[in-house]
Amino acid sequence: MPEEARDRLGGTAEENRDRLGGTAEENRDRLGGTAEETRIVKRRIHEYPDDSWTIERAVDDGAYKGAKKAITTMQPDEVIDLVKASGLRGRGGAGFPTGVKWSFAPKDVFPKFIVVNHDEGEPGTFKDRELGENDPHQLIEGITIAAWAVQASRAFIYCRGEFALGSRRLDRAISDAYERGFLGEGVFGSDFELEIILHRGAGAYICGEESALLDSLEGFRGQPRLRPPFPAVKGLYGQPTIVNNTETLGNLPDIILKGADWFRQWGTEKSPGTKVLSVSGHVNRPANYEVPMGTSLADVLELAGGMREGHTLKAIIPGGASAPLLTSTDIAMDFESLKEAGSMLGSGAVVFMDETTCMVRNALVTTEFFEHESCGKCTPCREGTWWGVKVLERIEEGDGRREDMDLLLDICDGIDGRAFCPLGDAAAWALRSNVKLFREEFEEHVSLGRCPFEDEAKVLVGAHQGGGSGDAGVMPQPAAGAPSDANTQP
């Protein structure tokens, strides 16, 4: 263990102890108990699981020291330059450099806004939910730092409507921060003023797209806007607006306190820092794991306890339902490596699937999701996803034709690059990768006139139960031995 931790941190035991401020054993525990996992945004949650969300625990653990340092000792441009130097990139999916995005906001236009994209709707993703529920003060501190950097006087947290516990804790945390003088007028005795408003959405996936989120926040139907202008120039209520992800903002306090070089000791040159990966599927220990950027998928699988006993890996979704599939774990989890492999890091939702998974059903469930969540604004996405579902239903129910595989690829070509926003592109990427990587399986459905996986495939949550009526027809199907909502007491 000490050797693994030393190798990971890139220094001697003495250097690493000075860097992290503890003994070798304390630092190893702080970094997650294994050589591979490194906790920055999840550290407080891990160390104080019983009360990490309370302001008493957060302040005792050093919360708001980063915000105080930024506001009382640094100019806004200095904060932006520091975040640029750290190489922090957006953790919500696009991976755009955070400091660069901040610099786009005009300095002489007021008011300016910070908007937190806490509307975590990507299938398989649950990292922001955990961060919001169990460490809301880290998010509030990150918001405060971002607001100071761009001189925004008001911030909005757009919280997914289903996050009942998280929204209650965020609401309480905001009130507590006001009482302590961390928000409101005269923050930390300065002339800076910041108001934070918690807004709950209504569960629309499209509102994860930043311009659709802004429309929803303004009270309109959530639909993407034509860009440019981009939100940093003309966003909420027509004013300069910075939209950042929950995990992204959670990195800011440590960057302010410990510096860019500290943050860059993990990850790669172009993708520094850590990333919280939401690992699920047919693994023994599904959970959120925070690992350095560049960690291999093989190490991520090992952290999750490997595949369930007696089963072998078949396919991997590396970055949420919209990410093209992979079949190998010999790939590093960072923006550049996954792009070279033909996929993307996305939201960091990693789903491991074993040999019992029917890939036709996987494609169907995924495409049904995008068809249901399409806002309907553009024809390629609205019509293309609907036709994709119809063809996949036909194949899965035993009525497929040999030409259907080429038809599905043609539908993807009609969506990709032609939709108004990335939702349509994502639907095409996911479907195309299923067909190209597992075409023989699709053809087997056609030749047999049925799904060859039968009941075994139902271990995939969301197994298709439809009867070809044209409805989405997706019903939750728990794995064998797992309780369902119907037989679980509240």
Task: Give yes or no for a contact between 145 and 253, defined as CB atoms under 8 angstroms apart.
Answer: yes
Model confidence at 337: pLDDT above 70? yes
Q: Which residues of 214-248 are buried (b: 16+ CB within 10 A; e: fewer)?
A: bbbbeeeebbbbeeeebbbbbbbeebbbbbbbbbb
**Mean pLDDT, to the nearest integer, of 472-486?**
37
pTM of the model: 0.85
* pLDDT (mean) for 202-208: 91
Q: At 36, is the pLDDT very low, low, confident or very high (cuts 50, 70, 90)?
A: low
In b/e form, how buried is each residue of 264-279, taking b as 16+ CB within 10 angstroms?
Answer: bbbbbeebbbbbbbbb
Q: What tens digit of pLDDT does each residue of 101-148 get? A: 999 999 999 999 999 999 998 999 999 999 999 999 999 999 999 999
What is the overall mean pLDDT for the chain?
A: 87
| Fold held by 359-477 | de novo design (two linked rop proteins) (1.20.1440)
The rounded distance, in Å, linking the Cα atoms of 39 and 127 is 13
- The residue extents of the domains of the chain are 1-35, 37-264, 274-354, 359-477
Helix (H/G/I), strand (E/B), else coil: 349:
strand
At residue 32 the predicted structure's pLDDT band, cuts being 50, 70 and 90, is very low
Task: State the Cα–Cα distance between residues 54 and 313, nearest whole angstrom.
Answer: 40
Tokens representing 40 are 């920055």
Domain 274-354 has CATH 2.40.50.140: no
* Percentage of the residues of the chain whose pLDDT score is greater than 90: 82
Classify domain 37-264 at the CATH topology level: Rossmann fold (3.40.50)
- Which H or E run includes 287? strand 287-292
- Determine the Cα–Cα distance for residues 305 and 325; give it in Å rounded to an integer: 21
Average pLDDT over every residue of 172-189? 96
Instruction: Look at residue 92 in the predicted model and tell me its pLDDT.
Output: 86
pLDDT score of 81 more than 60: yes
Do the two domains 274-354 and 359-477 of this chain adopt the same fold?
no
Phi and psi angles of residue 351, each rounded to the nearest 5 degrees, phi first: -115, 115
User: What does 171-240 look like in DSSP terms, one character per residue?
Assistant: HHHHHHHHHTTSSBSSGGGSS--BEEEEEE--S-GGGGSHHHHHHHHTTS---PPPSSSPTTTS-GGGS-
Identify the pLDDT of residue 479: 38
Q: Is 70 exceeded by the pLDDT of residue 482?
A: no
d(CA 404, CA 416): 18
Q: What is the token pair recorded at 295?
A: 């960690």
Better-scored residue on pLDDT, 1 or 241: 241
What digits encode the pLDDT tens for the residues 142-173? Answer: 999 999 999 999 999 999 999 999 999 999 99
| Distance, CA of 292 to CA of 334 (rounded, Å) | 9
